[in-house]
Amino acid sequence: MKQAIALGLLLVAAGCQRMESAQTPNEQQEILSWRARRITSLKAPDGWLSLVGLHWLVEGPNSLGSDPSNTIVLKAKVPPHLGTLVLAKGMVTLEPNPSAGLTIGGKPMAAAAVLIPDTDPKGPTVVEVGTVGFQVIKRNERFGLRVKDSESEARTHFRGIDYFPIDAKWRVEARFEPFNPPRHINMPNILGITTDEIAPGLLAFTIDGKEYRVEPILEEGTKDYFIVFKDATSGKETYGAARFVYAPPPDREGRTVIDFNKAYNPPCAFTPFATCPLPPPQNRLPFRVDAGEKKYAGGHEE
């Protein structure tokens, strides 16, 4: 009888643990829908899987095309000589080769045009030729050319993403501890370039009875808090450099939720041509986050 009671208590305890870890049907469906949107975005013709090149511009003329004689050689199905990018006084102008067939917004390029970089609210200007599109990016004072190809091998041979099981344990309530005023922090990226970011405060949360804090940043044009983090799975089951997750802005009481079930791989997990930020020391978590996306099987190793 005592053995039966003990077994019954164990089963009840196990059942309670499963209930604590179970997401509600609505929460599960919301995460599954988020995953589907994420895959759709990755696989879009101009999504991260289409990224095939990143070329830093030098001051003055930068010839462009598939011919090896160019300053910037594009490894894609484009004409030998597309034109010349001229970097002067913090501005990039494209002088097109009239016979190359370049377009902007679907209209043929008939004359030289200034290319607005990705940091400008009006930009970026995207130039297209065949299946290839390119735009200017700015990182601090450096200008580069980001090149995408809808027929890239990474996009046409996408292997899908593997995930940890959805678990309510990793949908954690967080308390916002604001910085007054918000701090400016230097955040390095995978290329060794440091950018100035705004950190509004800390998000405090509890895992397995112990409190931790992460430091989110505010991206321009977004309200959600952006968290770049590492944990004890990084470099093993998950991408080594970092993973990303967003949290809604806190309510009036300073409460929000970090759902690590939505932790996802940065673009640099799929391509060596992305400029992904690295986590600040505060965001290097000493425990395993068994939630969200796992390492991409066909991806780029950091």
The domain ranges of the chain are: 48-156, 161-302
Task: State how far the Cα of 32 lies from the Cα of 281, in Å rounded to an integer.
Answer: 31
By C-alpha distance, which of 289, 277, 291, 159 is closest to 232?
289
φ and ψ at residue 24, rounded to 5 degrees: -70, 155
Give the model confidence (pLDDT) of 66-84 as tens digits. Answer: 999 999 999 999 999 999 9
Point out the residues of the chain with pLDDT beneath 50. Answer: 1-21
b/e map of 13-27 (b: 16 or more CB within 10 Å)? eeeeeeeeeebeeee
Architecture of domain 48-156: Sandwich (2.60)
pLDDT of residue 180: 95
Q: For residues 286 and 230, give the distance between their C-alpha atoms in angstroms, rounded to a whole number.
A: 9
Instruction: Find, among 223, 286, 234, the residue nearest to 265 by Cα.
Output: 234
> Across all residues in the chain, what is the average pLDDT?
90
Q: Is the pTM of this model over 0.75?
A: yes
For the segment 245-290, what is each residue's pLDDT rounded down to a tens digit? 999 999 999 999 999 999 999 999 999 999 899 999 999 999 999 9
| Cβ neighbours around 272 below 10 Å, total | 14
